[in-house]
Structure 1
Amino acid sequence: MEDILCDISAFRFHRTPPQVLMLCPPYPDRATDNNRAGFRNHILTHEILGTPVHLLATDRKRRLNNVSTVSHLVTNELPFGCIQQTDLGISTASPLYSLFNLASHVDENHLVMAMYEFCGTFSIFRPSPVVEALLDSIDSSELLPRSFGWRRVKSSSGRKTDLWRREPLIELGELGQFADAMKSKRGGRRFARAAKRVTGVTASPFEVQASMLFSTQRCKGGEGFSGFVNNERIPLSTSARRIYGKSTCYADLLFDVPNGASPLIVECQGKMVHDDHDSAISDSDRTTALQQMGFTVMPLTYRQISDRANFDTVRRMVARQVGVAYRSKSSKEIRCEIDLRRNIFIDWTTLGR
């Protein structure tokens, strides 16, 4: 029987681009891998998953706990479809079930962030020097397809980043259904609470952080602005198309506003892909096109949300635009906000630890 990745190891597996996994040979057969040396020294273990590797055990006799592996015993029937086979001689918990594994021990805010990532169109993966060298050799030789559906984002200066574009691993509806089905299990209530906090499909950690700051209840450190959707598709009018040169665009955060007011779009302008002359022109054309259609567009930079003093101006502006009388936070709410910020402004590669 193959080993089954679970918990943080399965989470890291699903964050790994397929073009990286294609570089890994299959694991040696467990029955012939003396002292599991082949497992410990495998590139997936050593360079990507890290040790200890978390494995699912459905039989007490198959539990194995040592410096390189930790077993998680499950004696109840597993949810349908929660285990996926791979081409590497190892199986893994599905994206949904790997998130559920995390629910029992990670901070709720980090669980929400992990849900946003798997339901979003991005992953964060930082290759080790060994893996980076392998990727470079494959790129130069053109031996494999370029993307496998995953594309690495480069900065405006051409530098490779840790941000990868892909289709969502989990649909929002699937997340909600799974949360309802698992409520009675250990960690189920926390999982359900976290799932309800996911506001939509996001395209970067920056969009997640902005969404969490705006939508989280004030008693938990946020602003309680729940009336917005993420990445809303907006068909452009004929005149707007002439300005922007495209037929549609997507609003990072589109807020509900009182009747008669201009709809508010908050645009998350991360430095990674917006910090050059061409991007500035494109952003300007896009903003002008949306304004021509009657939208109010508020550009938002990372510095404006990461600095609490700067963000105070932003949240008051948003409140005014959506017709809410902003109330200053109590000392308890301020402490909760500081705690929320401490949890969401992290090195995203460490998420799930």
Structure 2
Amino acid sequence: MLTITVFFFSIFRASVALIPTFPQIGILAPAILYVALFLVGFFAGAEYGGGTALATESVPPERRGFVGAFVQSGFGVGYFIVSLVFFALDSFYGQTAFQAFGWRVLFATSIIPGILALVLRLFTRESKVFTDMQKENKVEKIPLRNMVKEVPLGIAFAIMITAGLLFVNGATLSFYPIVMEKFESIPYSTVGLAIALINLISLFGVWIGGMLSNRLGGRRISMAIYSIAFLITTYPLIYFGLSHSLFAVVAAFSVQAFIEAMIFATLPAFLAEKFSKRYRSTAVGFSYNAGGIAASFSTTIILIFVAFHFSLLNVWSFIVIAASLLMIAGVILSSETWSSKYSKRSDDKITL
């Protein structure tokens, strides 16, 4: 299944490079774009749940925090690479030529990591947890039904966490380029390089957060500590990030992205252990993507308030803090899935 999803995800993402412009075909241009993006999201939706389940089921619990963090870092690695590619293409073509046709080259390059992922998937084996279920004929045909029936509160709390965290992510890493170009007047070509640097630093946040999770006592407590640290530093980091100094902007946003990435580090293991193996992939994917839908409005909401002459500092800080509180509430309401106090095997929920 993951082989199929990554193949079509890559094809439809790269196909955006071939879409005619509005002057060429009129209203059909955005219509085709929306269809292509819908199909990209449709196939990408299976990636997180399936990939998380596969990775976390394949390792023992004491290593799952770091392995999950490594899986989660895939987004940051991708964002880092595409930022560098954007910087390189914009520098090569120039801003005018890039906006005219260079962006097509950017989208076309997305087929390259897709091919690499496809090759890796072809040589990847299913986890022992899943193959044992296949042998025992216990694979759910309609996992969504039992998931909703058995763990409605677990799903609700998971969505609170993912909605809050992904909303924060949309209001930070996805919003940084807009802030730099529109509000900080940073040169267009420099933005790509700055975002690449911020993402590079955030990757260390994911990996370090994953490594520290066991020493801090468990998945839930780690997420709580990281989330509270992010909440406390939100306003001062946004304040310094709006100082109109390139160094201050990159430094403040890098620190914020680093702490935010630490929260993401434990999420894959936490979600995977939270749900039964009978519907784990579905539950993890459903929770993550449901949160992602809510988060997709983050930058739009901020810009709407700013358009009505609200202070960017106050609006931005308030929205990020509100989303952080929702995330923290979800963490508090959830139960611990694995702790360093547990036996390394007998209390492992991944096999349940």
With the length of structure 1 as denominator, give the TM-score of the two structures: 0.22
Report which of the two has the higher share of strand: 1
Structure with higher RCO (Cα < 8 A, 6+ apart)? 2
> Which has the greater radius of gyration?
1
Using structure 2 for the length normalisation, give the TM-score: 0.22
